Chains A and B, each alone.
Chain A
Amino acid sequence: NAGVTQTPKFQVLKTGQSMTLQCAQDMNHEYMSWYRQDPGMGLRLIHYSVGAGITDQGEVPNGYNVSRSTTEDFPLRLLSAAPSQTSVYFCASSYLGIAINIQYFGAGTRLSVL
């Protein structure tokens, strides 16, 4: 089982550039989400999706776009990168429903914006 796969692992961007962080899961999970992790701030939710064609904003959505055209994929797009977006990004997926909700995380993408 591949689980949750994130690419790339590392990325350096210049201010103003755009890029897409990829996330794919092979567990047929309905729920997928993106978090950013900054020192001393835990993980903060950027966007999430409860199924194909359905997305919603989390705590810190500004500067990021998402789409969910398939169950498996949930890409995160940075429209115009800013130094404040330097962070480690994690994608996670899970089934919906309390009894079976365990989130599986990817290994992360470390992004630096210069």
Chain B
Amino acid sequence: AQSVAQPEDQVNVAEGNPLTVKCTYSVSGNPYLFWYVQYPNRGLQFLLKYITGDNLVKGSYGFEAEFNKSQTSFHLKKPSALVSDSALYFCAPLLGGSTLGRLYFGRGTQLTVWP
């Protein structure tokens, strides 16, 4: 069965410190993995994705994610957090093969960056 886990409901960091939001997955076949961000009262926005190639993927707003096949993880990282990064973050594998577009979302991790 396909699954995705975000083990932390909340992550709190101080501005300027590095941040990590964790994600582990279980999918059949090649994993296609996405991170989306949701700001308050808004729809989700795409941050980055891993399809193939380099294990370190760079995305929007200075975020990056490291794909680790042996640990089945796809953790989201940023070297220096900003207060404006405070939002709800979702990890999501893409299911249904390369021709379909079904995202299977994790429960989300609320990131709070304090000044």
Interface, chain A (partner B; CB < 8 A): 4, 31, 33, 35, 40-45, 48, 50, 58, 90, 92, 94-99, 101-108
Question: With A and B bound together, what is the CA distance between A33 and B101 in angstroms?
Answer: 9
Q: In terms of DSSP, what is the predominant structure of the interface of chain B? A: loop
Contacts of B104 in A (CB 8 A): 45
B43 engages A58 (CB within 8 Å):
no
Q: Pick the contact of A108: B43, B90, B98, B108 (CB < 8 A).
A: B43
Contacts of B98 in A (CB 8 A): 97-98
Q: Do A50 and B46 contact each other (CB < 8 Å), given the known contacts A41-B107, A99-B51?
A: no
Contacts of A94 in B (CB 8 A): 101
Contacts of A99 in B (CB 8 A): 51
Question: With A and B bound together, what is the CA distance between A40 and B98 in angstroms?
Answer: 29
Minimum C-beta distance from A47 to chain B (A): 11
Interface, chain B (partner A; CB < 8 A): 9, 32, 36, 41-46, 49, 51, 90, 94, 98-108
Which B residue's beta carbon lies closest to that of A30?
Answer: B101
Contacts of B106 in A (CB 8 A): 42
Contacts of B101 in A (CB 8 A): 31, 33, 48, 50, 94-96, 101, 103
Minimum C-beta distance from A22 to chain B (A): 15
